[in-house]
Structures are given as C-alpha cells and as structure tokens.
Amino acid sequence: MTPEGHHLAELNVGRLLAEPGDPRVAEFMAALDRVNGLGKRMPGFVWMMEGSGEPGTGNTETKIGGDARFVSNLTVWESVETLESFVWNTVHRQFYERRAEWFEVLGEMHFVMWWVPAGHRPTLEEALGRLEHKRAHGDSDQAFGWSYLKEARLWRERNCSAVAAE
C-alpha cells in the first residue's frame, strides 16, 4: 500500500547491445518517444526524467559512467497499481518481453523502486544510490523490487522471473 503522502519512484537501467544510432537497436530507439509518451498520458503518472529532448533518443544523453549505451528510465507514479498498469497492460509489455533483442544481460540488479514524498523529483544520482543499496542489502524499505510489494498483483500474474523483473 502506498504510504500516506508518498509516490512510487522507479529506476530501470539497461545497456544497449550497440550504440544508439546502430541499426541493431534502431527499432527500440524509434519506439522510445511513443512508449514514453504513452507513459506520460497514463492515469497515475507523475513525472519522468527527461533526456536530451531529441526525438528517438530517450535518456541516452543521460549517460551513466560516460557510456552512451546505458539507457536509464527514472519515473514517479502515484501507486504500485498505476505503474503496473503501464508496465503490463500497454505496448510497454511487448518491448519488455523483447528486451533481449536490444539489451545486454547485465550480471547485476538493474531495477529498483522506492517511496518518495509527493512532489519530490529524484535525481539520477539518488536513484543510482538506491540501486546500489538494493544490490548491497537486498529488498528493504529503502530500495526494493516487485517481489517486495504485496500489492504487485500484475507482476505476480505474469509469472515474471525474479532475475528479469526485480
């Protein structure tokens, strides 16, 4: 249950198989504006970290460690249910299910969620700190994955593997 006066922040980090302009990732890159635009129109959407603003670039200008192949998605939602609805009940799911076509398999956790006070816009540095906390300590009130949330109904129904969707 969403704590009183809080929203749900999430960070998802992936590393593209090739540079953003490479034909091997072109289909994914071409869909970014459509999928992100849909997310912004979803009930319960609060905020999204913006990238360069150039069409088809998503947040690739927000480099992690100076590496343009790292793509990060940092958003805030009103609740677990509203984030789940976007992730599992829209075209986003199709791209999620095809992620192996465009992204490397990362050997460590790459997804984290945490509660933020309503109105707070987390920075990428803050989000990466939460991800590091989850990597070091596992799920806690400070940083968690889907399995930590009792109300994460759609995640459980889709039988997502803990490694892929944590």
pLDDT of residue 144: 96
Tell me the whole-structure pTM to 2 decimals. Answer: 0.88
pLDDT of residue 1: 73
Nearest to 146 by CA among 159, 137, 133, 136: 159
Q: CATH no. for residue 138?
A: 3.30.70.100
**Is 65 inside a domain boundary?**
yes
Q: Which DSSP symbol is given to 99?
A: G
> What's the total number of domains in the chain?
1
pLDDT of residue 155: 81
Neighbours of 110 (CB within 10 A): 20
Neighbours of 129 (CB within 10 A): 17
**Is 114 inside a domain boundary?**
yes
**Is 87 inside a domain boundary?**
yes
SS3 sequence of 113-131: EEEEECCCCCCHHHHHHHH
Q: Report the distance separating Cα 16 and Cα 22, nearest Å.
A: 10
**Is 48 inside a domain boundary?**
yes
| E strand residue ranges, the chain | 6-15, 45-48, 70-77, 111-117
- For 108, the domain range is 6-165
**Is 123 inside a domain boundary?**
yes
pLDDT of residue 163: 44
Q: Report the distance separating Cα 113 and Cα 145, nearest Å.
A: 6
Q: Give the model confidence (pLDDT) of 90-108 as tens digits.
A: 999 999 899 999 999 887 7
**Is 129 inside a domain boundary?**
yes
pLDDT of residue 164: 46
**Is 1 inside a domain boundary?**
no
CB within 8 Å of 25: residues ≥ 6 apart: 16, 17, 18, 19, 102
CB within 8 Å of 38: residues ≥ 6 apart: 86, 90, 91, 92
**Is 151 inside a domain boundary?**
yes
pLDDT beneath 70, residues of the chain? 51-63, 159-166
